[in-house]
Chains A and B, each alone.
Chain A
């Protein structure tokens, strides 16, 4: 399995590549060959070394040892610009877009078309429009990036890469923020690029996706290549097993019997701005309540309205008493905590350490006049243990943690506030399967301990696997509340698409 790839058609190849950060080696003599017209999937848990290898291939990092071959000849890139000149483009998981510029300006950033000394706006606009149309997105070239949705930003990233006529396209979890429809468009694009002879390196935590589009699969674990096979020879179970290094039994814990406790949260006629209208639902003690719906159905907005981040109208009762929540502080006082879907933008201070992040929400618990740093350190020790946060050092900047560990830290931070009601928005976005399992287990234990949990998720399996009841939202309204046997993919989709009501009528 570790024999050097004999494939002579390899466009870009990594041979015995190692990479160290300071004294720590994170990549140990890995091999990888990308072939023209093939999709090569690279999978592994967070922190397995996928991102590091992708950065080496695309010129963002240099290998400590080992070599890169381009068309069979050794190369070294001293910058990503050099790699791009050689036709190798990386699409970042975190968008690399200038928020205040327009879509067109972003696509051509750094390599603007000129006529004389002036920008040739007309040509660039036309080309941008063509690329966007090819990707079947609705955004126009003139839209400002700060104003478009997350999935549209992803499309702009892809358009940007396409405009560079990439020979090798490295995609870091491109579908993490896309809806199924958008993902389907992306897959069509990938097929088209394949046909044109582009070599594609693709990472994703969604194994079904990998099984569907990959021609060849490489699995990393702890910085080493542990498996390598043509796609046909590896099913999803084997992929998961290779990644985790052990047999993965059930991803979801055994469902506890539906909660019958008294309602702890009761929401009636709740509206948020012009996005959510007249939503009503109840949450019981010990219950996991799923919120399903299409992207843009208003789920996140509803939750942000509940915790006072957004202006809202309507009645909210916590444990039978009407409360008025105008800020996150009010929400905290009412025992409600919210984990945002946007870990880096809204959840954690990426430039700060774990301690400062952990205690930020519940800082009053650690301070009368002065902050008790020792108590904070103890809390961090407990959190690291309880939530299994894996960090290279305790002083690490949170931005340098892997997505899974960030999510665990965010969970720990939220739980320090000792909420009775926990709202988790996209609990496992961009997280590997091993960590997913841990987080599901945690959510389960939370409910079992008598707290109540709302899970907002776009992953159908998650909603179905976790929830006692499911609220389906559509266009800012509650389209239905499902229980028991109704919690299945078909019913949820019918409600989310607005087909259920029509059939009943």
Chain B
């Protein structure tokens, strides 16, 4: 609370609204730092690398934005991605001999990924909305389940996609449209669509209403359970899409695939300005949050600023700073 209520209209116009622009300012600062530290930072190759590797978490984080905005949480997405990747690889390997190596097998694999993602999201969503178990507990449980399932499927080792199929599938990660890698194209499309859905559709409005006050939403004829369920299903499908982009990268899945993705996705959502308690979400902010997270790692690799042992600490400091920037506004109220 401040005592200074003197009227200074001249200053108000110049001041940046950090609540809105905080993440963008942080992102720009990181880009400037990176460019200053290493001339290769802004090269086509490096920019492509950073954006493409952000794509998996980014696509997932867009779905997570909806879940969190409506007052939920999903801790299972990292293991879910590993599980979907595993199933996808097993299916494609099994079908390759009979179907022949080609896009047919890969399309089946993609459909399987989407279907498994949808089913996994449905399980989470039904347990939350119908069995009325806390989202934290449900998804903590399924997190362990998916993680065990992939370990079991891979026999504790690594599932690898047959090299013939892999060669066909590889371009989905490594080549692109007009020089823009496919993961980046898909990520951008998901962000744009997500932003439109959040801002412009009844579904997005209902998510914010439910997260804001579930009772008010219920009294306002919002089908609370269905909207909630839909957010988890949407997230599951997006995890499927992320996995479709992930598998061609290394062509393998193991029990260490997707570890901590859930926390990175949640962090990106919060850095982007979405409220962890729900009620307000913005998808473009999430995209910025994801980029901030991957840029930190990239910059630390490109320059020997600190001991690699301290990378985690730097990441932590920047995450907290990015959020502090936005919260400043609140202190004035």
Contacts and interface: CB of A to CB of B under 8 A. Distances in A.
A181 to B, nearest CB: 28
B205 A356 contact: yes
B146 interface: no
B202 A340 contact: no
A327 B223 contact: yes
A308 to B, nearest CB: 9
Nearest to B206: A363
Contact of B216 (A64, A348, A363): A348
A371 B212 contact: no
A483 interface: no
Interface string A19-32: 01111000000000
A62 B3 CA distance: 7
Interface residues of A, number: 35
B211 to A, nearest CB: 10
Contacts of A332: 221
A350 interface: yes
B263 interface: no
Contacts of B11: none
A220 interface: no
B209 A367 contact: no
Contacts of B212: 349, 351-352
Contacts of B217: 360
Contact of B219 (A23, A309, A370, A371): A309
Interface string A256-270: 000000000000000
A361 interface: yes
B9 interface: yes
A364 to B, nearest CB: 7
A88 interface: no
B221 A328 contact: yes
Contacts of B1: 62
A287 to B, nearest CB: 24
Nearest to B9: A23
A347 B216 contact: yes
Interface in A349-404: 349-352, 356, 360-361, 363-364, 367, 369-371, 373
Contacts of B279: 349, 351-352
Nearest to B214: A346
B221 A340 contact: no
Contacts of B196: 370
Nearest to B8: A23
A373 B213 CA distance: 22
B205 A360 contact: yes
Contacts of B9: 23
Contacts of B3: 62
A346 B223 contact: no
Contact of A345 (B206, B209, B215, B221): B215
B209 A349 contact: yes
B223 A351 contact: no
Contacts, number: 78
A22 B7 CA distance: 7
Interface size class of B (residues with CB under 8 A): 20 to 34
A329 interface: yes
Interface in B268-318: 279-280
A360 B218 CA distance: 11
Contacts of A350: 213
Interface in A403-435: 413, 417
Given A23-B9, A351-B280, A369 B220 contact: no
Contacts of B37: none
Nearest to A65: B5
B201 A369 contact: yes
Contact of B220 (A21, A64, A351, A360): A360
Contacts of B15: none
A338 interface: yes
B220 A328 contact: yes
A327 B224 CA distance: 10
Contact of B202 (A348, A371, A373): A371
A360 B222 contact: yes
A365 to B, nearest CB: 10
Nearest to A304: B219
A149 B196 CA distance: 42
Contact of B201 (A64, A352, A371): A371
Nearest to A350: B213
Interface string B177-206: 000000000000000000010001110011
Nearest to A60: B1
B234 interface: no
A454 to B, nearest CB: 16
A285 to B, nearest CB: 24
A418 to B, nearest CB: 13
6 contacts: A22-B7, A309-B218, A349-B212, A351-B279, A352-B212, A360-B205
Interface of B: 1, 3, 5, 7, 9, 196, 200-202, 205-206, 208-209, 212-213, 215-223, 279-280
Interface of A: 20-23, 62, 64, 309, 327-329, 331-332, 338, 340, 342, 345-352, 356, 360-361, 363-364, 367, 369-371, 373, 413, 417
Which 4 residue pairs are nearest across A and B when measured between Cβ atoms?
Answer: A370-B200, A328-B221, A360-B220, A361-B220
Given A329-B221, A351-B280, A369-B201, 8 more contacts: A21-B5, A309-B218, A345-B213, A352-B209, A360-B205, A361-B220, A361-B221, A370-B201
